Amino acid sequence: MQRYFLDEAPQGETFWLPEEIAHHFLTVLRAREGEQAEFVLPDHKTVLVAKVADFADHTARMQITASHTPQVELPVETTLIIGLSKGDKPDFVVQKATELGVKHLIFVETDWSVVHWGNKSTKKLVRLEKIAQGASEQSHRLIVPTVSYAERLEDIRLPENMVGVVAWEESAKQGEQAKLAQTLSTLKTTDHFVGVIGPEGGLSEGELKTLTQRGFTPVGLGPRILRAETAPLYLLSALSYVLELS
């Protein structure tokens, strides 16, 4: 069933589809009378199920048939800080990280970033926010992750209740295996998990020093060296396994 996010909660048992949702549901998906969709309310907790009751002026009146409050979000608030990578890798990471439950994505220029957004950042973020919304709807999330940009690691404000790790290639090369598992096993629902992943080529020694001084633990992500776009997904998958499946 298709899922959408509503900016306003319906008043009563029926509501009219907003223009953008109506275009996708009625024109792109060719919904017909009686077809159902899910709608996440602004509280990011309640999901309505509604069916098409009738049509008017390129939109449709929806009849609410049910509501529920599913539990689908990660048990801890999760942020990824990601070094800028080449090509469409940020698109891929936003889509897949959203599916895996991230709440905040921060793209940052690092010492070894080979691309620089600069004054292009606003346009880039608009595109990535749309990708995040589409991925949230597809994966039946209750929230759409925030996507932001920072020019330097030092500019990023960190939460007070942070438990932070930084993926460090040298840790993997040296065979370090336990720190990630140990860190994840100590997480509480009141914690805010923050993971840092570098771009192609990784992070510099100076950046690692800065991050460790700010409370991040360097961790290896297994014995293999992962691509810049793979590492965030590995980290989120490990987090999900520890918190949701084990």
| In the chain, where the domains are located | 3-68, 77-245
The three-point CA angle 49-55-58 to 5° equals 105
CATH fold of 3-68 reads: Ribosomal Protein L25; Chain P (2.40.240)
What Å distances lie between residue 122 and 85, 115, 125, 228, 242, CA to CA? 17, 15, 5, 22, 35
Q: CATH 3.40.1280.10: does it fit domain 77-245?
A: yes
Residue 48: pLDDT over 70: yes
Alpha-carbon gap, residue 95 to 194, rounded angstroms = 18
Residue 177: pLDDT over 80: no
Alpha-carbon gap, residue 160 to 125, rounded angstroms = 26
Alpha-carbon gap, residue 121 to 118, rounded angstroms = 6
Q: What is residue 237's DSSP assignment?
A: H
Question: What's the pLDDT at 172?
Answer: 56
Banded pLDDT at 225 (limits 50, 70, 90): confident
Q: What is the pTM for the complete model shown? A: 0.92
**CA pseudo-torsion sign 39, 37, 131, 21:** negative
Region 42-53: what's the mean pLDDT? 97
Q: Supply the mean pLDDT for the chain.
A: 94
Banded pLDDT at 178 (limits 50, 70, 90): confident
Region 10-18: what's the mean pLDDT? 96
